[in-house]
C-alpha cells in the first residue's frame, strides 16, 4: 500500500491527502465545510445539484516547469475560468481551492437561490423541518428574502405505499433516492418522470412501491420530498432523545438511532457516520421498533400454581422457580434439567444463562433450538476459520467473487445483501448464488450466476465444487495439519463425478466448474452461508464440506478467513461464543479438558460437568420422552422454533417445570409454569456480536417497562435463590467477568464498544484446528430423489423474521398474510389458481394456506415462509425446512383462507 499523498491548499490551509480523493472529502479533512446535496458517500459522484461549487486553481508554471511567482513572492495561481463542483473534482498536487472567494460565494448563493425557486418553503408543515439540509444550507448560504415571486410549479403529493410519503414540490432532484434504490438496494423501485423543471420522482407505474420498503430513500433524501409515513407529524427532531444502539432483527448488527419522545420510540434511523451500516437500515430495522411499546407486553411474572397462569410477584416467582429446580435436580438429577434458547439475548445474559445451567450441574444447554440434527458447538467456528481474523462486511463488499450458499439474504441478512449489491454495482463484485429458489441476489440484474440447486443436493454441490477446485491444481496456503487430510479427501471426492452431481443437484457440470474456478482464481473472495446449512439435517457434514471448499479455494488460509456465517438472530454468534451449546464452555473451551475448566470452576465456585450435554434436537426428544423434566426457555418461541411441533407440544405438556423468559405471552409461554417478563433491546444495555464477530454495545433508550426485568436480573435472582453468590450490579460487571475468562474476549471493555467495536479473533493459532475431511451424503441417492410430493422450501422473508415481527403492525401489513408459493407451472399442474386454499400434508400434520404464484420457486417445490404467525411449518413434521417432502392438494372447503 503506497503512502503517496498530494498536497492541496483549501482556503489557505494546506493538507496532504491520498491521490484520487474528492475535493469534498479533502475539505472535510481540512475542516472546511463544503455543502452537498446530490453527493453521497455510498454513491458515485453525480455533480447535479451544483451547491458544492468552489474555485479551483493550479500554480502557474513557466516553460521549464518552475512556478511563476507573483509580485509578493508567493506562487501565482492560474484559476479555472469556471467554478468547479467539489464533489466531482479529484485532487491534484499543488491544487488551490477557495470556498469563500467572492466568485465561489456568488456561485453558491446563486445555486442556493435556484434550489429555492420552486421549493414551496412549507417548512412549518414539513416533517423534515429542523433536520433539513436545504433548510440548514439556506440559513447558512442563502438570502433572507426571495426574488422569485412568480407562480411555482406544483405536483400532487402521493403515498408511495405504506412507508413512503412523497411531496414532489419539495424535491431538489438530487436523485439520491433513485440511485440508492438502484445501486445499493438493487430494487429499481424509483425513477424520475418527465424532465426539466417538471422532473418528478415516483415509482415507474405511479402505483404504491412494491419493494423492500427499506425507507432508505427517505433516509438519503436531503429535503422533505420523501418522508416516513409511520413517523408522519409525530414529532420534531428537537423533541427526540436520540440513542444509538444495535438493531435486534438479524445478525448483521446494524447501528440504529432510536428517536424517543417521552416513553415511546417514534422512529429509527441509520447513523450516517457510525456503525457497520452507516445510513442503511432495512424495513425491519427502520419500522419494526413498535413491538417495544406493544400493549401485550408482559408486565409481571406469571405462575401456574393451580390450573391457570396467574400474575405473581417477582420474588414469589423466583422463589417458586428455585425451589422447583432444586427439587427436580434432587429427585431426578441435574441431567433432567435443560436450558434452551438465548439467541436473542445479549452476550452478558447468554453468559449468565449457561452459567446458571452449568452451576446447576447440567450441560443440557443449547441456544440453537432450530437444529434438526446434533451439531458440535464449534462446527460453525471451524467452518468460518476457527477464530482466524474474520471477514468484515466492508471486505465482503469489496470482494471480487462471493459464493452465497443456500441463504436468502433478503430475509436473513438484509444489510449483507445490500453490501453485496453495492459491491456488484460499484466494485465489480461477481455473485454466485446456490439456492433452490431464484432469490433476489440470483436475479439477472446482478449479473451473477445462479446455481439452481435441487433441495437435498447441498452436500453433492459442495463436494462437486471442492472437486472442481482441486482439479485446478494443488491448493495453497493451508497449514500442515489441514493439508494432512488432502489425500483422503481427494480420494473421496473422486466419487463425485460431474454426472452424478448433475443427477443429484440438477446443476450443469460446466456451471459448477466455472463457479469453482472463479472462487479459486479471484484474488479477493468470500463464502457466505447461513441457517439453511446449519439447520439442515446433514448440518455437520455440510459445515465440513464448506470448510473443505474454503481450504481448497483459498477462502480459508493459515492467516485469514473469508467465510462468513450470517446467523438468524442478533445474538446467534454471541450464543456460540458464550457456550450456549452443550459441548463447549464459553470461548469454545472443551469441558473435557480439566485445564480449560479450571478458571471457570475457580470463578464460579462449582465443579463443572466434563461430559457434553445434549443438543437441542436431542433435548427435544428427551423431553418428549420424559427424560428431561424441567426446561428453561429464554427468548425463544420453542413451539415454533423446534423442528417438530408435535414433539415440542408433547415435551411441554409432559415436563414438570417449564420456565419461559419472554416479552410476550407466546404459545410457548402459555404452556409454561413460570413466565418471567423480559425487556426488549431498547430497554437494556449489553454487548451483541454480529456476523463479523464484531462486539458492539447496545444502549438503553428507554426505562424498562414497569414490572419487566432484564434476563440478567432474573437469572441472577434465581441463581441467588439457589444459593449461588452472584452479585453483578449491572451488565458491565458480567462483561468484566467474560473479558477475564473467555479467550478472544480478553482485554476488551465496554468503553471501546459503542458502534464499531473490536472484532474478536483468537490470537496466534486458531481456536479450533481446521481440517479437511471427506463428507459423505447420507441423503442423496435415488431413493430421496425419486420420492413423490413437493420439496418443502422454507426460510425467512424480509417482513417476517420471528415472533417479534408478529407484534409489529406495519410489518404484518407489508408481509401480506401467509401464503404457499408455487411456480406458475406447478400451480397449474396442481389444478390450482392463485388464492385457492391449498392443503400441504407432511408426515406429521398438515397446513392450509392460500396458494400464490412466485416465479422464484422451482418446479416440484413449494415455498412456505416459516415466520408468519398463522403458519406453523414445523407441524408438517421433522425436519422442517430442509429436506422434507409434502403433498399439496386443493382444500376441501373452497372458500379462500387467509389474506
Binding site for another protein (CB under 8 A): 45-51, 53, 81-83, 88, 106-107, 110-111, 113-115, 117-118, 120, 122-125, 129-130, 147-148, 150-154, 169, 172-173, 175, 192, 194-199, 232-236, 238-239
113/841 with CB nearer another protein: 113
205/788 with CB nearer another protein: 205
The minimum distance between CB 361 and another protein, in angstroms, equals 55
72/145 with CB nearer another protein: 145
The minimum distance between CB 26 and another protein, in angstroms, equals 18
194/242 with CB nearer another protein: 194
Largest pairwise CA distance in the chain: 100
Residue 372: closest CA among 892, 888, 879: 879
Please spell the DSSP secondary structure of 350-398, one letter per residue.
HHHHHHHHHHHT---EES-TT-SS---TTHHHHHTTTTSSPPPHHHHHT
153/829 with CB nearer another protein: 153
155/760 with CB nearer another protein: 155
The minimum distance between CB 544 and another protein, in angstroms, equals 41
Determine phi and psi for 806, rounding to 5 degrees. -70, -20
Q: What is the 3-state secondary structure (H, E, C) of 691-743?
A: CCCEEEEECCCCCCCCCCCCHHHHHHHHHHHCCCCCCCCCHHHHHHHHHHHCC
Determine phi and psi for 8, rounding to 5 degrees. -130, 145
103/758 with CB nearer another protein: 103
163/708 with CB nearer another protein: 163
The minimum distance between CB 202 and another protein, in angstroms, equals 14
839 class by beta-carbon count within 10 Å (0-12 exposed, 13-18 middle, 19+ buried): middle
Dist CA 550 CA 546 (whole Å): 6
Dist CA 308 CA 669 (whole Å): 12
The cell for 279 is 445510513
3-state helix, strand, coil in the chain (%, to 5): 35, 20, 45
The minimum distance between CB 152 and another protein, in angstroms, equals 5
The minimum distance between CB 111 and another protein, in angstroms, equals 6
The minimum distance between CB 47 and another protein, in angstroms, equals 5
The position carrying cell 422454507 is 794
175/837 with CB nearer another protein: 175
Cα 399 to chain centroid distance, Å, stands at 18
In 602-709 the beta strands, taken as DSSP E runs, fall at: 630-634, 657-662, 674-677, 686-689, 695-698
21/572 with CB nearer another protein: 21
The minimum distance between CB 396 and another protein, in angstroms, equals 25
Residue 284: closest CA among 569, 666, 600, 536: 569
The position carrying cell 418471567 is 676
The minimum distance between CB 50 and another protein, in angstroms, equals 5
Under a CB-based contact definition with an 8 Å cutoff, are residues 256 and 247 in contact?
Answer: yes
The position carrying cell 432510536 is 258
Cβ neighbours, 10 Å, residue 514: 15
The minimum distance between CB 813 and another protein, in angstroms, equals 18
44/605 with CB nearer another protein: 44
The cell for 648 is 415440542
| Residues 6 or more apart whose Cβ sits within 8 Å of residue 521 | 472
The minimum distance between CB 382 and another protein, in angstroms, equals 42
169/346 with CB nearer another protein: 169
The minimum distance between CB 100 and another protein, in angstroms, equals 17
List residues bridging with 674 in a β-sheet: 303, 659
82/816 with CB nearer another protein: 82
Cβ neighbours, 10 Å, residue 880: 27
Under a CB-based contact definition with an 8 Å cutoff, are residues 201 and 221 in contact?
Answer: no
The minimum distance between CB 148 and another protein, in angstroms, equals 6
Q: How many CA atoms lie within 13 A of 447 on its CB side?
A: 9
Dist CA 111 CA 105 (whole Å): 10
Amino acid at each position: 500500500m503506497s503512502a503517496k499523498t498530494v498536497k492541496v491548499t483549501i482556503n489557505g490551509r494546506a493538507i496532504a491527502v491520498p491521490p484520487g480523493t474528492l475535493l469534498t472529502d479533502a475539505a472535510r479533512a481540512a475542516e472546511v465545510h463544503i455543502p452537498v446535496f446530490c453527493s453521497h458517500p455510498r454513491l458515485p459522484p453525480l455533480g447535479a445539484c451544483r451547491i458544492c461549487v468552489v474555485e479551483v486553481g493550479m500554480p502557474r508554471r513557466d516553460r521549464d516547469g518552475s512556478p511563476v511567482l507573483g509580485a509578493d513572492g508567493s506562487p501565482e495561481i492560474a484559476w479555472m475560468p469556471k467554478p468547479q463542483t467539489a464533489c466531482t473534482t479529484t485532487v491534484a498536487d499543488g491544487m488551490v481551492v477557495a470556498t469563500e472567494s467572492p466568485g465561489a460565494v456568488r456561485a453558491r448563493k446563486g445555486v442556493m437561490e435556484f434550489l429555492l425557486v420552486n421549493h414551496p418553503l412549507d417548512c412549518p408543515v414539513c416533517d423534515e423541518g429542523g433536520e433539513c439540509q436545504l433548510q440548514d444550507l439556506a440559513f447558512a448560504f442563502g438570502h433572507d428574502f426571495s426574488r422569485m415571486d412568480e407562480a411555482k410549479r406544483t405536483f400532487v403529493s402521493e403515498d408511495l405505499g405504506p412507508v413512503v410519503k412523497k411531496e414532489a414540490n419539495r424535491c431538489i432532484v438530487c436523485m439520491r433516492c433513485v440511485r440508492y434504490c438502484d445501486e445499493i438496494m438493487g430494487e429499481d423501485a424509483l425513477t424520475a418522470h418527465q424532465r426539466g423543471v417538471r422532473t418528478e420522482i415516483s415509482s415507474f407505474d405511479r402505483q404504491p412501491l412494491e419493494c423492500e420498503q427499506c425507507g432508505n430513500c427517505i433516509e438519503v433524501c436531503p429535503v422533505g420530498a420523501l418522508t416516513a409515513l409511520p413517523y408522519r407529524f409525530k414529532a420534531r427532531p428537537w423533541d427526540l432523545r436520540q440513542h444509538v444502539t444495535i438493531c435486534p432483527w438479524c445478525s448483521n448488527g446494524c447501528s440504529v438511532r432510536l428517536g424517543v419522545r417521552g416513553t415511546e420510540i417514534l422512529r429509527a434511523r441509520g447513523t450516517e457516520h457510525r456503525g457497520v451500516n452507516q445510513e442503511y437500515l432495512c424495513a425491519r430495522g427502520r419500522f419494526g421498533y413498535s413491538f417495544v411499546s406493544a400493549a401485550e407486553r408482559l408486565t409481571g411474572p406469571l405462575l401456574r400454581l393451580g390450573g391457570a397462569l396467574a400474575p405473581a410477584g417477582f420474588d414469589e416467582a423466583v422463589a417458586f422457580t428455585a425451589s422447583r429446580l432444586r427439587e427436580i435436580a434432587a429427585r431426578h438429577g441435574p441431567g433432567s434439567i435443560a436450558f434452551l434458547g438465548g439467541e436473542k439475548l445479549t452476550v452478558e445474559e447468554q453468559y449468565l444463562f449457561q452459567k446458571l445451567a452449568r452451576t446447576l450441574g447440567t450441560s443440557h444447554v443449547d441456544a440453537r433450538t432450530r437444529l434438526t440434527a446434533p451439531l458440535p458447538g464449534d462446527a460453525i467456528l471451524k467452518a468460518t476459520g476457527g477464530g482466524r481474523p474474520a471477514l468484515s462486511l466492508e471486505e465482503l463488499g469489496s470482494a471480487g467473487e462471493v459464493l452465497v450458499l443456500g441463504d436468502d439474504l433478503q430475509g436473513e441478512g438484509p444489510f449483507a445483501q445490500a453490501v453485496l449489491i453495492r459491491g456488484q454495482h460499484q466494485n465489480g463484485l461477481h455473485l454466485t448464488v446456490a439456492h433452490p429458489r431464484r432469490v433476489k441476489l440470483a436475479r439477472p440484474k446482478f449479473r451473477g450466476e445462479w446455481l439452481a440447486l435441487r433441495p437435498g443436493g447441498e452436500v453433492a454441490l459442495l463436494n462437486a465444487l471442492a472437486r472442481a477446485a482441486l482439479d485446478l491444481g494443488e491448493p495453497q496456503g493451508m497449514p500442515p495439519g489441514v493439508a494432512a487430510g488432502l489425500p483422503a479427501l481427494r480420494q473421496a471426492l473422486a466419487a463425485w463425478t460431474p454426472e452424478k452431481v448433475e443427477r443429484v443437484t440438477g446443476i450443469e457440470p460446466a456451471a459448477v466448474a466455472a463457479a469453482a474456478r472463479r472462487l479459486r482464481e479471484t484474488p479477493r473472495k468470500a463464502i457466505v452461508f447461513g441457517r439453511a446449512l446449519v439447520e439442515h439435517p446433514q448440518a455437520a457434514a455440510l459445515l465440513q464440506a464448506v470448510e473443505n471448499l474454503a481450504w481448497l479455494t483459498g477462502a480459508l488460509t493459515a492467516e485469514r478467513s473469508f467465510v462468513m456465517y450470517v446467523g438468524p438472530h442478533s445474538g446467534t454468534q454471541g450464543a456460540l461464543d458464550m457456550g450456549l451449546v452443550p459441548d463447549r464452555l464459553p470461548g469454545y473451551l472443551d469441558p473435557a479438558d480439566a485445564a480449560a475448566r479450571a478458571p471457570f470452576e475457580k470463578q464460579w465456585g462449582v465443579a463443572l460437568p466434563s461430559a457434553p450435554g445434549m443438543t437441542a434436537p436431542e433435548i427435544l426428544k428427551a423431553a418428549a420422552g420424559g427424560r428431561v423434566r424441567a426446561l428453561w426457555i429464554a427468548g425463544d418461541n420453542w413451539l415454533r422454533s423446534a423442528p417438530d411441533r408435535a414433539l415440542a407440544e408433547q415435551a411441554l405438556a409432559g415436563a414438570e417445570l417449564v420456565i419461559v423468559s419472554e416479552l410476550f405471552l407466546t404459545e410457548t409461554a402459555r404452556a409454561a409454569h413460570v413466565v418471567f417478563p423480559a425487556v426488549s433491546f431498547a430497554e437494556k444495555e449489553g454487548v451483541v456480536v454480529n456476523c463479523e464477530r464484531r462486539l458492539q454495545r447496545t444502549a438503553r433508550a428507554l426505562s424498562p417497562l414497569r414490572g419487566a426485568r432484564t434476563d440478567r436480573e432474573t437469572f441472577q435472582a434465581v441463581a441467588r435463590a439457589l444459593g449461588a453468590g452472584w452479585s453483578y450490579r449491572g451488565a458491565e460487571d458480567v462483561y468484566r467477568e467474560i473479558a477475564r475468562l473467555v479467550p478472544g474476549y480478553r482485554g476488551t471493555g465496554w468503553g471501546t464498544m459503542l458502534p464499531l467495536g473490536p472484532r474478536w479473533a483468537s490470537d496466534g493459532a486458531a481456536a479450533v484446528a481446521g481440517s479437511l475431511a471427506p463428507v459423505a451424503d447420507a441423503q442423496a441417492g435415488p431413493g430421496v430423489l425419486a420420492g413423490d410430493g413437493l420439496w418443502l422450501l422454507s426460510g425467512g422473508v424480509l417482513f417476517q423474521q420471528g415472533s417479534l415481527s408478529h407484534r409489529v403492525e406495519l410489518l404484518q401489513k407489508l408481509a401480506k398474510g401467509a401464503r404457499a408459493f408455487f411456480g406458475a407451472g406447478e400451480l397449474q399442474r396442481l389444478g390450482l389458481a392463485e388464492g385457492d386454499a391449498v392443503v400441504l400434508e407432511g408426515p406429521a400434520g398438515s397446513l392450509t394456506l392460500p396458494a400464490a404464484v412466485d416465479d422464484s420457486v422451482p418446479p416440484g417445490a413449494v415455498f412456505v415462509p416459516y415466520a408468519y404467525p398463522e403458519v406453523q411449518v414445523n407441524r408438517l413434521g421433522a425436519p422442517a425446512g430442509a429436506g422434507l417432502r409434502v403433498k399439496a392438494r386443493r382444500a376441501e372447503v373452497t372458500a379462500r383462507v387467509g389474506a
